Structure 1
Amino acid sequence: MAKVDRRIKKTQDALKNAVLELMAEKSFDDITIQDLSDRANVSRGTIYLHYMDKYDLLDKLIETHINELDDRCKAAADLDFVSGSLIWTEYFEDNYPFFSMMLASKGAPYFRSRFLDFLNAEFKDEVDVTRGKNKGLNKEMLVRFVASAYVGVVEWWFMNERPISYQALAEQLGALLERNCD
């Protein structure tokens, strides 16, 4: 993997932080390239060196977090649901500004949709409709149910400003997944 120049990373990080800060203040649609330029303290031209437009910036930011969740999911493949959930909830905690903006405020509906699609793909292999209490259920519907419930609980956690620790969230989510996936 090619090493990224520190100046490029610094600029990209400044732009990612700027978009999150601005989204806390106003709708994403109302954010201009000039707003991003002013907040990140870079020229408009510099923004266009790194991103096609503000939508590309947001998409790259979302993609970074989805890819990281995917990597963590692969690393947790052999773990039980509680331990696997702990890996994710710790990441949610460590990246609170991003996820709270995407899930608990004006945010970006696009992120919720991407997150839900990602979870549908992840839970597809976890749901068993051949035995137990899920026997005979429509697998696609059950996967959608589990993924939607997961997103809903994570949204609740962010909207209520983390009313329980990320560890307790992982325990609860893990227990709910065990009940609904086996």
Structure 2
Amino acid sequence: MVKVDRRIMRTQEAIKKALLELMSEKSFDSMTIQDIADRANINRATIYLHYLDKYDLLDKIIEEHVTNMANLCELEPELDWIESTVLCMEYLERNYLFFSTMLASEGATYFRNRFVQHNVEEFKKDVDVKVGKNLGQNEDIIAEFVANAYVGIVEWWIRNEMPYPPKEMAEKVGDLLERII
């Protein structure tokens, strides 16, 4: 296991935070590397040590969050829908700045597509079209339907400033998922 220098971790966190804060204030396209550097209180060259450009930075942040959410489920594969959804909702709550910014910004379409695709892959693992309530259905259609519904309710929850605590929200969503899958 490679040990990462804490200074590098702090610098990268400052850069990511600066990008998210700026995205909540202005469009991503109008943002410059200098804007990000100024907000993070670092030199422009420091950003280029870690990222190719602002698009690479955004992509790395999105990938980090999608991977973290995927890892939550992989760490606890024996969890049922509700328990697994609680973990996801708690992660969303802990990372509210990221998710609320991504869903309210111009990067929303790109992020949403990545988030939906991640969920399609996860839900496909649980869809059974050979027996039960989904007998004869198309696996791809079910996975797309459920993933888009799940992402849609997450968007609603975040845009409405999380009106229900993660556990309660997870129970509501988990109940709905069990009806479909």
Q: TM-score, normalised by structure 2?
A: 0.96
Q: State the match for 1:102 in structure 2.
A: 102
Give CA-to-partner distance per residue, 1:63-89, whole Å, 9 cap, x none.
111111111010231111001100111
Give CA-to-partner distance per residue, 1:16-50, whole Å, 9 cap, x none.
00000000001111111110011001111111011
Residue 131 of structure 1: how far off its partner (Å) = 1.8
Q: Does the CA contact (< 8 Å) of 1:82 and 1:174 recur in 2?
A: yes
1:8 pairs with 2:17 = no
CA distance in 2, matches of 1:108, 1:26: 14
The change in CA–CA distance for 1:168 and 1:104 in structure 2 (over 3 A counts) is farther
Residue 92 of structure 1: how far off its partner (Å) = 0.6
1:179 pairs with 2:149 = no
Q: State the match for 2:165 in structure 1.
A: 165
The letter for the 1-side match of 2:142 is L
The letter for the 2-side match of 1:65 is H
The letter for the 1-side match of 2:170 is A
CA distance in 2, matches of 1:124, 1:111: 20
Q: TM-score, normalised by structure 1?
A: 0.96
Structure 1: any 5+ residue segments left out of the alignment?
Answer: none
Residue 162 of structure 1: how far off its partner (Å) = 0.7
Where do residues 10-25 of structure 1 align in structure 2 (5 Å cutoff)? 10-25=10-25
CA distance in 2, matches of 1:104, 1:157: 13
CA distance in 2, matches of 1:12, 1:153: 31
Q: State the match for 1:26 in structure 2.
A: 26
**Seq. identity, %:** 56
1:44 pairs with 2:44 = yes
CA distance in 2, matches of 1:161, 1:145: 25
1:54 pairs with 2:54 = yes
Which SS does the other structure have where 2:126 is aligned? coil
Q: Does the CA contact (< 8 Å) of 1:104 and 1:158 recur in 2?
A: no
**What do you get for the CA RMSD once the two structures are aligned?**
1.1
